[in-house]
Structure 1
């Protein structure tokens, strides 16, 4: 069964057993369970349901496999012939989740 979910401001189409990398869920640790209620579509073929905006009673259960940080992104600003240079770095906080079940 497929479902389209909305989490952390982004939309993902998932099936059971999928592993996703999303923005970190606050106040969670590896091994904790999640319940995502923002399900936009669920099902396939004749059993397909489309929400307006969310499908009533549908939920997706997931488990956090790990919390990690993404690769480093370097932001470099320069104005030529002015002596202006700034270098900043950023690493995004990420959660790796596994979809356990989809209920419609």
Structure 2
């Protein structure tokens, strides 16, 4: 059984037992979370969401991704600036997918 959920402005295909990286959500490690915005579950497409369906998960880790470098450079202007950014994420283990 699989489902497509909407979280953090993205669509993610999930299955029970799978670990996914999503945009940061509030919560501590080992907290239970429920995803209610289910776009599709086993071929049943929602309009826009499937009624009565939910996906249960557990937060495994709150962390930051690898650092990326953003360079601002203008030739002949003597402007060269380097910025760094680390995107926060949440690692979630999918426990159960249920539909009514």
Structure 1 unaligned blocks of 5 or more: none
Equivalent position of 2:40 in the other structure: 41
C-alpha distance in 1 between matches for 2:7 and 2:74? 39
**TM-score, length-scaled by structure 1:** 0.92
1:9 positional shift:
0.7
1:31 positional shift:
0.6
Equivalent position of 1:75 in the other structure: 70
Could you list the per-position Cα deviations for residues 65-87 of structure 1 after superposition, in whole angstroms to 9, with x for gaps in the alignment? 00010000111111112111111
Alignment pair present for 1:52 and 2:47: yes
C-alpha distance in 2 between matches for 1:21 and 1:95? 6
Which aligned segments of 4 or more residues in structure 1 are displaced greater than 3 angstroms? none
Structure 2 unaligned blocks of 5 or more: none
C-alpha distance in 2 between matches for 1:79 and 1:12? 38
C-alpha distance in 1 between matches for 2:5 and 2:83? 33
Equivalent position of 1:90 in the other structure: 85
